[in-house]
Structure 1
Amino acid sequence: MADEVIRVSAVVVRRADGRVLTVRKAGTVMFMFPGGKHDDGESPLQTARRELVEETGLTVALDELDHLGAWDTAAANEPGRLLHSEVFAVARQLADHEVPVPAAEIERLAWMDPHHPVPPDGFSIAPLLLEVFGHLSSVSR
């Protein structure tokens, strides 16, 4: 159904320098957070963890994900569709050996400054990314 809301979970991964991990799926033009649609019977938290592993190879425990909130935005890759996103943040610094890599449908990773997000190579930024970056900028110290 065209007017059905797409429900997803997304994950914010921050480095010590404040930059945030973004991904771009193959065949798309927008960078976004790692994340995706829920599997049947899966909670938003479980989706966030699964998608982070599938798309970046990063593994975190469920209790290492903090719920930042829910956002309703335009969908990045499905024009005219609405997106409801439960957004989580990894609540710890990544260890030196935890290096994200593009996996599954992810073609590229980029670390962006949430205060001044600039996508590489002329690509775009997903509406959810901009909304959450605005939130992160307003609550950062």
Structure 2
Amino acid sequence: MTLASATPPLIHIAAALLVAPDGRTLLVRKRGTQAFMQPGGKIEPGELPSHALARELEEELGLRIAPDDARYLGRFSAPAANEPGHVVEAQLFRLDLDSDQVTPAAEIEEVRWVDPANADELTLAPLTRDLILPFYRASQLASA
């Protein structure tokens, strides 16, 4: 008899808190899904999180960034929005952009620039809803 693991499988990702000049942040919705989330994606074996982020942002949004321009904010974990029974573990980076012009590509169906205080009308991934947006709101209050 084998006991099932009590630990759900982890999905390791690099995620971006992309911030426009007016303080809004970008959320994306992948094709065939309902939840909006941070842009980013899975970290390949042997890949540094900041390099995975740069690769994913170029693939998904046409944004070219230098990995060193992304400011590391920490590691955040929550139930995965699109893979039941899995937990997503995100290495989160902040990037302040000069413009809010992005072009959805690859599997991205929709992008939305949102005020982090008023994003509740959207269906949000647990990581975004429960951790990243509250973290961003708290950082905005601390710097005000």
Q: Structure 2-normalised TM-score?
A: 0.87
Q: 1:111 aligns with which of 88, 110, 113?
A: 113
Q: Secondary structure at the match of 1:31?
A: coil
| Matched positions, count | 135
Aligned to 2:13: 8
> Match of 1:20?
25
Aligned to 1:51: 56
Q: Does 1:79 align with 2:89?
A: no
Q: How far is the alpha carbon of 1:61 from its aligned partner?
A: 1.0
The aligned residue for residue 138 of structure 1 is: 138
TM-fit CA distance, 1:63: 1.7
Are the equivalent residues in 2 in contact too, given 1:26–1:107 (CA < 8 A)?
Answer: yes
> Is the aligned partner of 1:61 residue 2:58?
no
Q: What is the Cα-based RMSD across aligned positions, in Å?
A: 1.7
Whether the 8 Å CA contact 1:70–1:84 is kept in 2: the answer is yes
Mapped to 2, the partners of 1:133 and 1:3 lie a distance apart of: 24
| Structure 1 match to 2:127 | 128
* One of 88, 91, 98 as aligned partner of 1:94: 98
In structure 2, the gaps of 5 or more residues are none
Post-superposition Cα deviations, 1:44-90, rounded to whole Å, max 9, x if no partner, equal 11111111111100111112100011101010101121111100011
Secondary structure of the structure 1 residue equivalent to 2:76 = strand
Counterpart position of 1:40: 45
Instruction: Give the SS at the match of 1:125.
Output: coil
Give the counterpart letter for 1:126 in structure 2: A
Q: Is the 8 A contact 2:15 2:91 kept in 1?
A: yes
Letter of the structure 2 residue corresponding to residue 26 of structure 1? R
Provide the C-alpha distance between the structure 1 equivalents of 2:61 and 2:20, rounded to a whole number of angstroms.
Answer: 14
Is the radius of gyration larger for structure 1 or structure 2? 2
**8 Å CA contact 2:50, 2:68 repeated in 1:** no
Task: Please list every run of 5 or more consecutive structure 1 residues that lacks an aligned counterpart in the other structure.
Answer: none
- Between 1:127-136 and 1:110-119, the stretch displaced more is 110-119
